[in-house]
Structure 1
Amino acid sequence: MSKKIYSSYIPFIAVIFVIILITNYTKEESGKIGNNFSEGNIVIAGKSKDMGIFKRPNLMNSTYLFGKSHEKVEKTINKNSGEIVLKDIKKPMLMEFSPSGDEAFYRTYIYVSPGDNVSFEVKNKKILFTGKNAAQNNLYTLLEENTRDYSKQYYQNDIHRYKATIQSIYDDKLEFATKYYHKHSLSENFTKVFNDFLKFEYYFNLINPRNVKSTSLDIYLNQSDVLKNLIQKEAIEKEIIFDISDYLDNIKIKDFIASRSALNHSHYFKNCLNDFIRHYFETSDYPLYSKEKLEAEKMYIDNHLDGDLKEYATGRMIWDYYNEGFAYNEENRKYMLQLIDNFSKTIQDKASYTSKMEAIKKDILRYDFKLSESALYAKMVNHLGDTITLQDIFDRSTKRIKVVDFWASWCPPCIKEIKEHKPFKDRLSVENNVEWIYLSIDTDKEKWLAKQEELSETLHFRNSYLLLKGNKSSLAKALQVQQIPRYVIFGRNGEILMNSAPSPSNNDVFERMIDDIQPQTFIP
């Protein structure tokens, strides 16, 4: 074949070669894309100079028992762009998307279904969605920009005024969202999901008033188990009668049942369901977090709820009682362990429920155990620079119950607890021979010292220490200190009586527990 004839075939050969390359490439990439776009996956692709968004995407999955960041995540990070693949998504859900970037913290919500492809870009430190379903996914950001923020409001010794403010914010948000639905012709499914989200955000703020000032931000935080105390205090001071049903809009358990799909979409729904059962729907006068109250709540749940709603409410009830120190004595421990075993047999294909129950059971079985030597001798310092260990503190007295309070200078609830409950703690120190030990997990020593000075009425060189290495220390690891404030109760011989005790702010609950355990641990 002459060169001329050969050269005449070059364009044709080149086209064939390109087609082959494209075909092979497409097959190869479609395999990858097929994995990403499979029925149970969601692909979220974005453009941003802040690459922390793709390193720490934090997409909250409300189908887990308490809602947490989705576990099965694959990340691909390129220059100024990235891709996040959420695997094993079984049903549509509203997910909080709150990546911790290198330049800012972002927070929005997206409504996704298995197989979805979501696109976004970051402008002016805001996540803006593009492409398909951009309108519904941009709603939350626009809503926050155009309506007031619940976190800026707080309880000021007038519960009716607080309710009126919270309700007006809810009304504004609902009005904005309704107009937005119509303008963008959003689906009926999405509007129901988002309306439920707004409604239970409102109810959550009602039953858990914002009563704690943040130490670092100009916002107020919600406080649980405090509503009835605030109402009773106002009723006495103002000599008036409050109608809690009216305050809570006469909500009924059937309203939760009608919105049961919110279990998959709204952490507000999940976080206030048991609060409503405990403080409003279940009307017995049993002491809070007592065995009698637990049995009454369980009976209420069994009689009024079924299916996934009953399953969640039961699991959350167990978790709440565990965190409030229910298993402080042998009788309650046996009861809770049996309750966990019975509940675990009914759980239907929910790994997050099973793992949480096993974690609670494991911790309860650790009660009365002693710390390892490495934990007992973890280094701490007081504000004078003296080094000490937990073993040194135990050696000072073998006749006192010791309550260790893990806290930090950046933790508003911790500061509130230390400031407001000194008289109660002082009384227990005298009447029950309780010693209070404050261990800060701060990583910034100067900030700890500044807060130590601010709280000097309570904290001093004999009871307040900076735990070196913070929550990475051998002591914090042994006690599994992951959230604060956290209270651990030790007996007179240094044994752990309760690894996760209730807050002293629940005075009645805490004192009842101390009264019951004292005869077992205190020798006059």
Structure 2
Amino acid sequence: MKLNFTLIIINLFLLVSCANDTKTSKIPAIDNQKEPEIENEVLPMYLSGKTDENNGFENFDLIDYSTLDNARPNKNVIHLVHKDSLPKLYKIKKSQIMELMMWGEDDFYNTLVFVTPGDSIHLEVNNGKFEFLGKNAAHYNFYLKADPQRNNYSKLSYKGDLELYKNQVDQVYANSKKIFEEYQIEHNVSREFVNYVSNELKSEYLYNLSNPREKSKPGNPNYNSINGLTETLKKTPAFRIDGVVDLSSYYGDISVEDFKRPDFVNNDYFKRSLISYIRQYFVNHEYLDYNEENLDAELKFVNENFTGEIANFARVKILSDYYNKGFGNDKISQEILLREIQQIEKTEAREDYKAVVRELKADLAYRLIKLPESVLSEKMTSLEGDTLTFGEILDKGNKSNFINIWGRSYTGEQCLPCLEGFEKLSVNEDIDKLDRISISLDHDEDRWEKDVRSFQAYLNPREQFRSVAPPHKSMITTFFKMTLPPKYAKIPRYMIIDNEGLVLYNNLPSTNDSILLKKVLTKINNQKSTLGSPQD
């Protein structure tokens, strides 16, 4: 009976798929008009398959990019006859591009598929060949034709020549568009398919511009930089000298209007590009720090330029990003996050967006603002050679402590922003109301001592300490989410911690923005005496 029931379900969804088929002429026009939001019925998508892989479909996954956290879609396995067959139901609400992955015994299969509610999709894997069959196969096979191994961009890497990298990315995009144009001529596809795929191709192109590929280990794909173009350029000697980059020329005619498309908010690369361009181009932070200054700038830009679902997605994603980067690790930033979360809770945002901020809110309620013992017990050395714990250093005075974390990279390069900050910090009267502590993450003790003496005009030797632990193993850098691969931390980092280990501010603005830094320090000095304990 189970098999008969499965066949009935299959026939039912094939009929649904036929009824919902919306084909057009051979070369449909791209629809650039905004369409009104329609509350679609949640319909099942039936996915079946057959494979000759020894491990069958045991390692199979489908990624739903319509959710904020790229979740697995709601699924229901009807009947698994053998491991080489794949009858499954997935509930989807809107047409979208999903990612399908399968690990064979010797091969890894990975592709994107454009799906609509009510689709019936059949895939076959034979002799290492991956293919979709069925009535709407043209909607599923494009990415297999355009980029069979999903590695056209992953072969690229930024090597210090920005113009060369852009030309390579442009070439990949041009080839993809040409293949797509030819595909439309050869196959009968819907206008909706053309709109979605066109947007995804452009968004993937834009993302590879804003987050350049970095060279990976031999045999592995080159992955996009998580810190974006500006931070990538800062590691390039040529750009560290003059710091001049014409972003408008590099990005071309991209504008905020390109992202006012709520119909694409379920697409992966569109969402990635939206946040990336807000953070790195439209707002264009001087430093990609996840602090109050940058958070305010990003949220202000969203509020002034977007409405509806795009604005709701951007706000929630920005808050989630900042929280995951350590914002909320102190009493002030925690209050800021809670205030923004409350604003989102009052809106008509999607339920899955609200679920994310509710989770953040619940996590913040249990967040330890006071440093845990694992951080307080981290060992430091002074210039005199004494060994102390971080907690002992914090408790040496009766004031709150201004912490300056600096050092060198694990390859020995000096941190230029750290050096620039020394002179500006030394003459800051607001910091004089606090006890100063300077902590170096340099793993070379002799070099650290030499650096301190070189900058003794700005550094008080009695305030100098060095972490014994390597930067990537330090409990301080781990707790404050400062670590970056492979072995260094994002510095400089300025924070204020009282003598009992209560974190008042874990990521102060850059010394280059003296006005904002003064504003925050004034707030700290005025409020620190009235701030309650972590239990309040």
Find the counterpart in structure 2 of residue 201 from structure 1.
Answer: 204
Equivalent-residue separation in structure 1 for 2:502 and 2:85 (angstroms): 47
Find the counterpart in structure 2 of residue 356 from structure 1.
Answer: 356
Find the counterpart in structure 2 of residue 41 from structure 1.
Answer: 44
Find the counterpart in structure 1 of residue 307 from structure 2.
Answer: 306
Structure 1 residues without counterparts, runs of 5 or longer: 1-21, 377-388, 402-416, 439-459, 467-474
Find the counterpart in structure 2 of residue 221 from structure 1.
Answer: 223
Superposed CA deviations along residues 151-198 of structure 1, whole A, max 9, x for unmatched, are 111111111111011001100011011101111122111111111111
Structure 1 contact 37–43 (Cα < 8 Å) conserved: no
Structure 2 contact 279–285 (Cα < 8 Å) conserved: no
More helix by share: 1
After superposition, where does 1:335-374 map in structure 2 within 5 Å? Answer: 335-351=336-352, 353-368=353-368
The residue matched to 2:203 in structure 1 has which SS? helix
Equivalent-residue separation in structure 2 for 1:400 and 1:359 (angstroms): 35
After superposition, where does 1:88-167 map in structure 2 within 5 Å? Answer: 88-145=91-148, 149-167=152-170
Q: Taking every aligned residue pair, what percent have the same amino acid on both sides?
A: 24
The residue matched to 1:46 in structure 2 has which SS? strand
Cα 1:52–1:59, aligned 2, differ >3 Å: closer, same or farther? farther
Cα 1:330–1:120, aligned 2, differ >3 Å: closer, same or farther? same
The residue matched to 1:346 in structure 2 has which SS? coil
Equivalent-residue separation in structure 2 for 1:153 and 1:507 (angstroms): 36
Structure 1 contact 41–88 (Cα < 8 Å) conserved: yes
After superposition, where does 1:35-434 map in structure 2 within 5 Å? Answer: 40-50=43-53, 54-74=57-77, 76-145=79-148, 149-210=152-213, 212-215=214-217, 217-231=219-233, 236=239, 241-257=244-260, 259-264=261-266, 266-282=267-283, 288-351=289-352, 353-368=353-368, 398-399=391-392, 432=437, 434=439
Structure 1 contact 340–361 (Cα < 8 Å) conserved: yes
Cα 1:419–1:53, aligned 2, differ >3 Å: closer, same or farther? farther
Equivalent-residue separation in structure 2 for 1:355 and 1:116 (angstroms): 28
Equivalent-residue separation in structure 1 for 2:10 and 2:129 (angstroms): 30
Equivalent-residue separation in structure 1 for 2:257 and 2:239 (angstroms): 33
How far is the alpha carbon of 1:299 from its aligned partner? 2.1
Superposed CA deviations along residues 483-515 of structure 1, whole A, max 9, x for unmatched, are 99699x9989997969xx99xxx9999xx9xx9
Equivalent-residue separation in structure 2 for 1:164 and 1:129 (angstroms): 33
Count of equivalent residues: 432
Cα 1:230–1:89, aligned 2, differ >3 Å: closer, same or farther? closer
How far is the alpha carbon of 1:68 from its aligned partner? 2.5
Structure 2 contact 371–501 (Cα < 8 Å) conserved: yes
The residue matched to 1:185 in structure 2 has which SS? coil
Find the counterpart in structure 1 of residue 457 from structure 2.
Answer: none
Cα 1:286–1:225, aligned 2, differ >3 Å: closer, same or farther? closer
Structure 2 residues without counterparts, runs of 5 or longer: 17-41, 380-387, 395-408, 422-435, 444-466, 529-536
Q: Partner amino acid for 1:173?
A: S
Structure 1 contact 54–75 (Cα < 8 Å) conserved: no
Equivalent-residue separation in structure 1 for 2:442 and 2:129 (angstroms): 43
Cα 1:68–1:435, aligned 2, differ >3 Å: closer, same or farther? farther
Q: Partner amino acid for 2:166?
A: K
* TM-score normalised by the chain length of structure 2: 0.65
Pair 1:30 & 2:23 matched: no
Cα 1:324–1:192, aligned 2, differ >3 Å: closer, same or farther? same
Cα 1:433–1:234, aligned 2, differ >3 Å: closer, same or farther? closer
Q: Partner amino acid for 1:363?
A: D
Superposed CA deviations along residues 20-57 of structure 1, whole A, max 9, x for unmatched, are xx9x9967963797699986211111111337563343
Find the counterpart in structure 1 of residue 430 from structure 2.
Answer: none
Q: Partner amino acid for 1:307?
A: G
Q: Partner amino acid for 1:55?
A: E
The residue matched to 1:59 in structure 2 has which SS? strand
Equivalent-residue separation in structure 2 for 1:390 and 1:312 (angstroms): 35
The residue matched to 1:152 in structure 2 has which SS? coil
Structure 2 contact 63–100 (Cα < 8 Å) conserved: yes
Equivalent-residue separation in structure 2 for 1:237 and 1:397 (angstroms): 33
Equivalent-residue separation in structure 1 for 2:56 and 2:271 (angstroms): 27
Structure 2 contact 121–132 (Cα < 8 Å) conserved: yes
Equivalent-residue separation in structure 1 for 2:239 and 2:215 (angstroms): 25
Equivalent-residue separation in structure 1 for 2:297 and 2:471 (angstroms): 40
Structure 2 contact 123–132 (Cα < 8 Å) conserved: yes
Superposed CA deviations along residues 61-116 of structure 1, whole A, max 9, x for unmatched, are 12101322224343643335232534331111111111344543321111212221
The residue matched to 1:82 in structure 2 has which SS? coil
How far is the alpha carbon of 1:290 from its aligned partner? 3.3
Cα 1:396–1:120, aligned 2, differ >3 Å: closer, same or farther? same
* TM-score normalised by the chain length of structure 1: 0.66
How far is the alpha carbon of 1:462 from its aligned partner? 5.6
Structure 1 contact 47–120 (Cα < 8 Å) conserved: yes
The residue matched to 2:48 in structure 1 has which SS? strand
How far is the alpha carbon of 1:229 from its aligned partner? 4.2
Equivalent-residue separation in structure 2 for 1:346 and 1:278 (angstroms): 23
Structure 1 contact 400–434 (Cα < 8 Å) conserved: no
Q: Partner amino acid for 2:392?
A: K
Q: Partner amino acid for 2:47?
A: I
CA RMSD of aligned residues (A): 5.0
The residue matched to 1:98 in structure 2 has which SS? strand
Equivalent-residue separation in structure 2 for 1:283 and 1:184 (angstroms): 42
Structure 2 contact 62–100 (Cα < 8 Å) conserved: yes
Q: Partner amino acid for 1:327?
A: G
The residue matched to 1:140 in structure 2 has which SS? helix
Equivalent-residue separation in structure 1 for 2:5 and 2:437 (angstroms): 74
Equivalent-residue separation in structure 1 for 2:258 and 2:309 (angstroms): 15
